[in-house]
Amino acid sequence: MLKFITDVLSVPAILVGIISMVGLLVQKKSGPDILKGTVKTILGFLILGGGAGIVVGALSSFGVMFQHGFGINGVVPHNEAIVALALKTYGTQTALIMAFGMVMNIVIARLTPLKYIFLTGHHTLYMACMIAAILTAGGMGGASLVIVGSVVLGFVMAFFPAIAQPTMRKITGTDDVGFGHFSTLGYVFSAWVGSLVGDREKSTEDIDFPQGLSFLRDSSLAVSLVMAVLYFIVALASGQGFVEKELSGGQHFLVFALIQAITFAGGVYVILAGVRLVLAEIVPAFTGIATRIVPNAKPALDCPVVYPYAPNAVLIGFLSSFAGGVVGMMVLLLLDKSIPGLPIILPGVVPHFFCGATAGVFGNATGGIRGSICGAFAQGLLITFLPVLLMPVLGNLGFANTTFSDADFGAVGIILGNALRWFGM
């Protein structure tokens, strides 16, 4: 039963489908409408997840080529990898913290001004897992671990969407949808940087391409071409022999690079299609729950929810964030000479894509083109240095060759770990 509950709560499609169904039931919709809304919500999230899987698959080969081609070894931040390791030890604690943390999210939304219900199930699982690991490393256990962990999780599930909402209103033009992704500090930081350096009237979406480059207004084509250039660079750096022997199964290494680049663009296209389908169903359905259980509550949805509002900023943000990650890595390499044992954080392409793309949209909302570039670059630096400070509080997980990648994990983990030390644990 515990495994069943964990599996249901950790699958975003099922979780949000249940939320949609409950909302439609509360509104006393007809049977066919309830079935349609529930299935289409689940379908949209599955499409979104399928697109994310396509992107992650294409980026994994990019990361391998980058690491081999430029000869840099270090820690690769990757949420899925670190959680897979942690669940072997902290599986039960994670499930309990996750289940009760979601209940606490509803209670906090009901009793406080933080009227947000966090619906990104996999990030809820990841945060619960990190909290369980840190509390265990700090000496807590049993009921106290579950209670403290649930309260912390429920609070951050309501708090982070609240600080993102002012910029979300600028992005979407409405106040109907919240933002639920645990790298919110990076996005808010990007929006703040964008407001300092840019002009929101000069949006990335108003870029005036020369007539001969007007085809780049097609975001899928633009993403394909830019990613093809990046893939060719890392493929050439890795060498034909390595790519064809280790990655492509004998396919010519440049053909392999081109296919992976276009596959990446295809994944982004699928993600956007899934987001549009989910938004069309979840917002009306959520109204039923919000008006009955938590008046004026907003559904806090995953980061791709903002991609359709500024497709150009998605690409600009990814490239700028990745550049920030490379610069941050170089700084760590220089510091390693004076601080032996300092972890070298490699620029993980997956977090820099999802977080960087979102940071680009947030930066664009406050600072236009310059805001998108500078904001996402600053966010890329942030998610490079925060994991360095997080690793010492993760206990045995701190010795793994990977760590949590997104900004909120770093901030919450550092604060929680040091709070335990202050209390003598």
Q: What is the pLDDT of residues 125-168, one digit of tens each?
A: 889 889 999 998 888 888 899 999 999 999 999 999 999 999 99
pLDDT at position 399, please?
64
Q: pLDDT digits over 278-306, tens only?
A: 767 766 776 666 667 788 888 898 888 89
pLDDT at position 83, please?
80
Paired tokens of 228: 């093809």
Instruction: Answer whether residue 369 shows pLDDT above 60.
Output: yes
How many helices (DSSP H) and strands (DSSP E) are in the chain? 13, 5
Helix (H) or strand (E) segment spanning residue 96: helix 79-111
pLDDT at position 408, please?
94
What is the DSSP secondary structure assignment for residue 177, as one 8-state letter? -
Amino acid at the residue 113:
P
pLDDT at position 182, please?
94
Instruction: Answer whether residue 337 shows pLDDT above 60.
Output: yes
pTM above threshold 0.75: yes
pLDDT at position 91, please?
79
Instruction: Answer whether residue 2 shows pLDDT above 90.
Output: no
Which whole-number Å values give the CA distances from 156 to 7, 16, 401, in the listed order? 22, 19, 27
Q: What average pLDDT does the segment 314-338 reach?
A: 90
pLDDT at position 366, please?
94
SS3 state of residue 178: strand
Instruction: Answer whether residue 216 shows pLDDT above 60.
Output: no
Torsion of CA 345, 224, 379, 152, to 10 degrees: -80
For residues 423 and 148, give the distance between their C-alpha atoms in angstroms, rounded to a whole number. Answer: 14
For residues 201 and 241, give the distance between their C-alpha atoms in angstroms, rounded to a whole number. Answer: 49
pLDDT at position 255, please?
94
Percentage above 70 pLDDT, the chain: 91
pLDDT at position 288, please?
66
- Max intra-chain CA distance, the chain: 68
Q: pLDDT digits over 59-85, tens only?
A: 778 878 888 887 776 677 878 778 877
Q: What average pLDDT does the segment 229-238 reach?
A: 89
Burial pattern 218-242, b for ≥16 Cβ within 10 A else e, equals: ebeebbbebbbebbeebbeebeeeb
pLDDT at position 169, please?
94
Amino acid at the residue 398:
G
Which whole-number Å values give the CA distances from 213 to 78, 210, 232, in the listed order? 36, 5, 21
Q: Where are the domains of the chain?
A: 1-414
Q: What average pLDDT does the segment 328-355 reach?
A: 84
Instruction: Answer whether residue 94 shows pLDDT above 90.
Output: no
Paired tokens of 124: 């809820």
Helix axes 253-292, 31-70, angle to 10 degrees: 140
Q: Which of 176-180, 390-394, 413-417 has the lowest mean pLDDT?
A: 390-394
When the pLDDT of each residue in the chain is averaged and rounded to a whole number, the result is 85
pLDDT at position 195, please?
94
